Amino acid sequence: MGKNVYLPGLALLSGILGLGLRLWQRRVSFDPETLLFLSGCPAPTLLLALTAAVAAVLLVSLRRESPPKTAAEVLACPSTLYMTLMAAGALLMLVGGALSVQEGLYQLTVWRVDPAAEPVTYPIALLLCALFSFLSGPALLMLGRESYRGPITQKAGPWSLAQPAAGLAWLFATHLKHGTDPVLMDYGPALAAVAFLMLGSYELAALRYAHPHPRRGLFCCLMSVYLGLLSLGDSLEPFRLALAAAFLLSNLAGAMALLSHMGPVRSGGARLAPKKEINNEGDHNNGE
């Protein structure tokens, strides 16, 4: 079984396991009256151990991968599953944008009634997230079609920035929503998930420019899949669920494209010649 199969499978299965642990934690140790987590439940320790194990496995598995050098080598992926994931992600980005507009207008109304209830930057961040989400829908379709059918061109480069911009606005809105919450355990997984979902889309966008970081992008994409599934155990608003699903699917598709082109430095168990190793190391430094 190749890494293009078991690494996405690891992220998905670990995310489902983490989701179960998160639901167990909220069901057993969360006190709705005090809004605190009671001590004694092993779920937090198991979640931390699982997260550390997933990160360690990904880092070890990717440390000997030889990154491609050009955008065409990185992004081309003539797979039906890849295009299906990108199309589903595009549709969910549009749904997330519509729900973000609804939530942003509602929060703006709340702010007008009681300006002290929350900062005005929160509804503004939601509306910005909605704007970039609407742009991300057709952008994902365009980028997916280009990677699926080819050729990879520079014209689509600016479109690849729409989803990272939506993720950045979403991350800012999430921080504003929970910035005054003293219980990190309550919102920490969701905040980490949004951060990695945004970083995964950003690294995929960076692949279309001069200095890509394929291995770092692959790590962020796979970790975002794991954390995105884990965060579904929290009580998320509909727009957050739609955005999380959209980013998760598009990042999973990006990871598939990267893994289909990345290979080990040594092939067939044979050690490369010293001169070749030096050249590969130089190429690696230039790519990273």
pLDDT of the residue at 135: 95
Give the single-character DSSP code of 179: T
Query: What would the mean pLDDT of 172-197 be, rounded to a whole number?
Result: 82
State yes or no: pLDDT of 34 exceeds 80: no
Whole-number mean pLDDT of the chain?
Answer: 81
Give kind and range of the element (H or E) at residue 37.
Answer: strand 36-37
Higher-pLDDT residue of 256 and 151 is 256
Of all residues in the chain, the percent with pLDDT exceeding 70 is 80
Amino acid letter for position 227 = L
Residue 219 near residue 199 (C-beta atoms within 8 A): no
State yes or no: pLDDT of 206 exceeds 80: yes
pLDDT of the residue at 77: 82
pLDDT of the residue at 179: 72
What's the whole-model pTM score?
A: 0.81
User: Token digits for 21?
Assistant: 């642990």
At 108-141, the pLDDT tens digits run: 999 999 888 788 899 999 999 999 999 999 999 9
Alpha helices, DSSP H, located in 114-213: 121-149, 162-178, 184-206
